[in-house]
Amino acid sequence: MAISTESRFFGLDLNQLKADILKTWRRAPQWPPLSWLRPAQTLRLVPAEGAPTVVWESGEPVLKPGREPVFWALELPEHMVLRKTVALPALDPQDCASAAELEVQAISPFAADDLLWGYTELSRSSKGVKLLVVLASRAQTEPYLQAQVAQQLHLQTLKGQSKAESLEQPEVWVFAPERRPVVFQGFGEQARYALGRKRLWWNVGGVALAVLLVAAIAATPTAQLRLRAIEAVHAYEGMAAKTTDVVAKREALIQSADKVGGLSELLAERIDGVKVLSMLTNVLPDDTALQSARIQGSKVTISGLTENASALMQKLSNQEGVKDVRAPSAATRMGGGNKESFTIELGLDAKVFGPKTVIEVEAAAKQDPAQPAATESAEGVPPVVPAPAPQGATPGAPVAAPAAAAPKASIGGGKPGPTLGGTKSGPSLGGSKPSSPPPATEPGGKKP
């Protein structure tokens, strides 16, 4: 089985691709944006006729040379040179060199070891390239070149300059139309080419270094911010590790505060049954008997017997903190009686009928510190507070004790006093005959 040596990948010749890339890279310094990377060099040109002058490597003279050029060139007389113009397709410069070499080998009248040649492009277009090929005989040109080198060495010695080593290898030029130099191959042009490549790489390195410095300068603030962010993260992690217990306690405190807040909201909507019963005790008239009272949230449903259910609803509506008074069913009068059976629903304001907190009680005590606290007697009965005498009453006349000074109301309680069932003696919300009131006392606390 034969082993293929072709370097192909999906039908693409990798060797040819590599060659094309190298050609493009070699032409890069000739592009206008990058031509400044390889600065032109100066040479001292010794023409076939006339005085030596300093010229650029393109052949144009230097108006104000700053220093003595490192390289120099000799111009061959026209009678020593053969010229030929060659038309080629639109080839790359490297391919043009190979085509010119083939053309020289085909048309040269000199032996291979006696041949000197060079070429230059006269014109280039999309259709083709026109080259100028020059040929010369080494045997004919060497005596002339040696004489010119000896003369230049003598001049350098007279001037006291020590550049003899560079003068020993001059370049050999012939000018094409429009003063375009044609360089013969095999003389001192390789040293100039090497120096040009060296300067090119130095310039490329300098540009790359400048780009890296600019990139570093541009990235420095971002890098500093990154480092600060990393440092801040490490500091935060260290602080978090040190404050784990504090953070846990804080979380527990926040949870407790949330629970307290939720409890406060529930308490704010809670209705105090004692206040509701106290309000009903004070509002319901004597002809009204309350059979049941049910508290559901801020809604109270009462039912019982009364002489005028409409008047009772109106009276309840006028109370502070009472709202939405309505009768879910019509009042009915019992047969042969003067009582109406009623069922009334009413809404209560939690701000008025809600339970008082410890803070509110302490605030009320601070606002009225002179009011003595009510204390029970040894028998467990609260002291009777004398009511103010009614208008028009004579001083010293007996005054009946108010109902508020009577024992606490209870629903079916065992102690005597006001009841909601009206079954025991004393004032009641059931409309029964009240018991005899306690003996009146004088304002001075004495019995009449």
- DSSP letters along 165-210, please? HHHTS-EEEEEEGGGEEEEPTTSTHHHHHHHHHHHHHHHHHHHHHH
> What pTM, to 2 d.p., does this model score?
0.47
Fold of the 273-368 domain: Gyrase A; domain 2 (3.30.1360)
- Paired strand residues for 326: 345
What DSSP letter does each residue of 383-431 carry, written as one string? Answer: PPPPPPPPTTPPTT--BPPPGGGSPPPBSS-SSSS-BSS--SSS-BSS-
The set of residues, in sequence order, having a beta carbon less than 8 Å from that of 64 and lying 6+ positions away, is: none
Residue 408 neighbours by CB distance under 10 Å: 13
Buried b (16+ CB within 10 A) or exposed e, 42-77: bbbbbebeeeeebbebebeeeeeeeeebebbbbbbe
Structure tokens at 130: 């026109």
DSSP letter assigned to residue 117? E
What are the C-alpha distances in Å from 132 to residues 101, 119, 159, 313? Answer: 12, 5, 38, 126
Residue 430, Cβ neighbours under 10 Å: how many? Answer: 21
Q: How far is CA 313 from CA 276, 292, 300, 307, 329, in A?
A: 16, 16, 13, 12, 13
In this structure, the number of other CB atoms found within 10 A of the CB of residue 140 comes to 15
Given a cut of 70, the residues of the chain with pLDDT beneath it are 1-7, 9, 11, 23-36, 159-168, 268-269, 357-361, 364, 368-448
pLDDT at 445: 43
**In contact, 377 and 383? CB cutoff 8 Å:** yes
Q: How many CA atoms lie within 13 A of 103 on its CB side?
A: 21
Quick one: which of 164, 199, 178, 158 has its CA closest to 40? 199
Cα dihedral across residues 183, 185, 188, 191: positive or negative: positive
**Can you tell me whether residue 114 is helix, strand or coil?**
helix
328-351: per-residue pLDDT in tens? 988 888 777 788 888 999 888 878
Count how many residues are written for the chain: 448
Task: State which amino acid sits at residue 210.
Answer: A
Distances (CA, A) of 207 to 69, 210, 304: 26, 5, 105
**pLDDT at residue 68, as a whole number:** 80
Query: For position 192, what pLDDT does the model report?
Result: 87
Residue-wise pLDDT for 216-251, tens only, equals 999 999 999 999 999 999 999 998 888 888 888 889
